[in-house]
Amino acid sequence: MPGILREIIEHSLRIQADAKPVKQRLRRFDDKQHRAIKEEIAKLLDVGFIREVLHPDWLANLILVPKKNNKWRMCVDYMCLNKACPKDPYPLPYID
């Protein structure tokens, strides 16, 4: 995240040794969705929250989910990456 020093905290993923990198097939979007994606990516690039990766080992697609106000929420499909990571032996507690 921008503004946080790597000496303070750095995130890393434990990927299983036998897992092979997965590059998902490219998804197609219509013009309205494509414009929404461009706007969101431009906003995230401007604030420095994301950066371009030239040689990715893992490639995850975007998913657009409609919001109640007729706009789009941009999400990333990490299903293949989640399958390659070991499960946490400490499940979240049930909160009622």
Whether 36 maps to a domain, the answer reads yes
Q: Which two tokens stand for residue 57?
A: 């080992």
pTM of the predicted model over 0.85:
no
If one counts every other C-beta atom within 10 angstroms of the C-beta of residue 64, the result is 19
Task: Kindly report, residue by residue over 16-59, the tens digit of the pLDDT.
Answer: 889 898 888 888 999 999 999 999 999 999 988 888 888 778 88
Q: Tell me the CATH number at 57.
A: 3.10.10.10
Whether 47 maps to a domain, the answer reads yes
Whether 60 maps to a domain, the answer reads yes
Whether 58 maps to a domain, the answer reads yes
65 pairs with which residues across the strands? 73
CB 62 within 8 A of CB 75: yes
Whether 13 maps to a domain, the answer reads no
